[in-house]
Amino acid sequence: MRIIDLSIPIDDCAPEPFAVRIARIGHAEGAGRVGEKFPGERKIGPDTFPGGMFLSHETVEASVHCGTHMDAPWHFGPQSEGLPAKKIADVPLEWCYGNGFVIDATALPPGGEITPEDVRRGLGKIDYQPQPGDIALIRTGADRYFGGKEYFLQFAGLSVEAVEYLFGLRIRTIGTDAPGLDRPFMNMVADYQRTADGSKLWPVHLLGRKKEYCHIERLANLGALPTHGFKFACFPVKIKDAGAAWARAVAIIED
């Protein structure tokens, strides 16, 4: 059995729409600070611990939409399919694990749309018929730009029609190695500025108000996978009253 990591990190050095801050306390500093938390007649300090070192500690201040993460229906709106939308802690774990398949969209131009025909053609190339409950992974190649500003520009996004086509195959969870399932932010905003048409803005996300499903965004390393015949797992951190959460995504391949 092989387990392939499909995740990018939460990185405080990478450009982000919402800044990431990680405060790090090293082992030596931790040995000096622990006494502040536990005062008493007998002081705890560096001399208390072997080598003068205690435990490291990190405090992360970050959006739930950085790093590899899953978007729950609540992220898209308060209701989905006419019912209260599921928050991330409510997403069934069965939606986070299943047979995966990869659609290669790397040949499409940055800022373009992935159409239903692109999905059909991609399935034909890999000679695979998705089954209900499968997890669709869209490979755009954007992950190779992670850490730079081009990461948010160099990918094609799914069209509403392409997502609806996947719905027709009874797919409920869709992942991408791009920052989002929609087209790049700047392309959508430019279309809105040109047309004053609000439907140009995050249409695939807003489709989640009509049909209940989940996104997995900011995957990586999809090119290392077979096109199908593997298990995909992406269990989100259980955060109360949140619309998304960080997750460690992996592919499991039985040799």
CATH number at residue 183: 3.50.30.50
Local confidence band at 42 (pLDDT 50, 70, 90 cut-offs) = confident
Q: Three-state DSSP class for 38?
A: coil
Total of domains in the chain: 2
Tell me, yes or no, whether 53 and 140 share the same domain. Answer: no
Give domain status of residue 14, yes or no.
Answer: no
Give domain status of residue 224, yes or no.
Answer: yes
Tell me, yes or no, whether 137 and 208 share the same domain. Answer: yes
The whole-number pLDDT of residue 36 equals 85
pTM: 0.94
**Does the structure show a pLDDT above 90 at 39?**
no
67: left (phi over 0), alpha (psi -120 to 50) or beta: left
List 219's β-bridge partners, or say none: 7
CB 244 within 8 A of CB 70: yes
**Does the structure show a pLDDT above 90 at 35?**
no
Tell me, yes or no, whether 128 and 244 share the same domain. Answer: yes
Tell me, yes or no, whether 37 and 96 share the same domain. Answer: no
**Does the structure show a pLDDT above 90 at 116?**
yes
Range of the domain at 32: 21-61
Tell me, yes or no, whether 151 and 94 share the same domain. Answer: yes
Give domain status of residue 16, yes or no.
Answer: no
Tell me, yes or no, whether 90 and 124 share the same domain. Answer: yes
Mean pLDDT in the chain? Answer: 97
pLDDT in tens, 67-98: 999 999 999 999 999 999 999 999 999 999 99
Tell me, yes or no, whether 124 and 211 share the same domain. Answer: yes
**Does the structure show a pLDDT above 90 at 40?**
no
Tell me, yes or no, whether 45 and 104 share the same domain. Answer: no
pLDDT in tens, 176-230: 999 999 999 999 999 999 999 999 999 999 999 999 999 999 999 999 999 999 9
**Does the structure show a pLDDT above 90 at 137?**
yes
Give domain status of residue 15, yes or no.
Answer: no
Q: What are phi and psi for residue 191, nearest 5 degrees?
A: -65, -40
